Amino acid sequence: MTSSPVKRLSADAMLIGVAMMLSYLEAILPLSLIVPIPGAKLGLANVAVTLCFFKISPIDAAAVSLIRISLTALLFGNVQSLLFSLFGSVLAYIGMCIAKLFIKHLSFYGISVMCAALHNLGQCLAAMIVLGSPEILSYLPLLLICALFFGLITGAVITPISKIKVFTNNA
C-alpha cells in the first residue's frame, strides 16, 4: 500500500484510531440483548487489523493489534480482558499468516470467519488458564457458531473497504 515509512506510520496510526473507535462502539452496544452469550462480540476492531495485515504488512498489523488490545484493556477492561484478547489475537494472527501463505484464494469472508473462530479458541484457552478448568471448552461450540455469523459480518464490512483507493497499491 505505502512506500514511505511516514505513510506507513500514518496509516497504522489511522487504523489504531479506527480500531479503538470500533472497540468503544462494541463496548457500549447492547449486543447481549440480541445474543445472550457471555463474551460474544462482533469483533469490528478486527476490520482495522485485517486490512492492515493484508494491505500494509503483517508486522504493522501485529503492532496495530497489540497497541489496540493494550489501550482497550486500559480504557475499557482489566488484566483479565487483556489476557483473553491477547490469546485470541495471537491465534487469529497465526490464522491470517496461514491464510496469506497457504490459502491464496480465500476471501475476506473466509479469513474473518477463520480468525473469529481462532480468536474464540484463544479466549477459551485463556479462560482455562484463569479458571484452571478444561470444562470451559464445552462453551466453545456456542462461540464457534457466533464466530461464523460475526465473521461473516466482519468480512462483509472489510470487503468493500479493501477496495477503497487508500488501500490499493495506486495510493
pLDDT digits (tens, 9 = 90+) for 126-139: 999 998 988 888 98
Residue 101 is placed in which grid cell? 501463505
What are the helix (H) ranges across the chain? 5-28, 31-34, 45-55, 58-76, 79-102, 108-131, 140-161
What pLDDT, on a 0 to 100 scale, did the predictor assign at position 169? 52
What pLDDT, on a 0 to 100 scale, did the predictor assign at position 170? 43
What pLDDT, on a 0 to 100 scale, did the predictor assign at position 171? 42
Burial of 143 (0-12, 13-18, 19+ CB in 10 A): buried
What pLDDT, on a 0 to 100 scale, did the predictor assign at position 1? 52
Q: What is the pTM of this model?
A: 0.88
The lowest-confidence range among 3-17, 27-41, 50-64 is: 27-41
For residue 106, is it left (φ>0), alpha (ψ between -120 and 50) or beta?
beta
State mean pLDDT over 33-49: 83
- Which tens digit of pLDDT belongs to each residue from 72-88? 888 878 888 899 999 99
Smallest CA-to-CA distance from 19 within 79, 27, 5, 148 is with: 27
- Which tens digit of pLDDT belongs to each residue from 101-124? 887 788 999 999 999 999 999 999
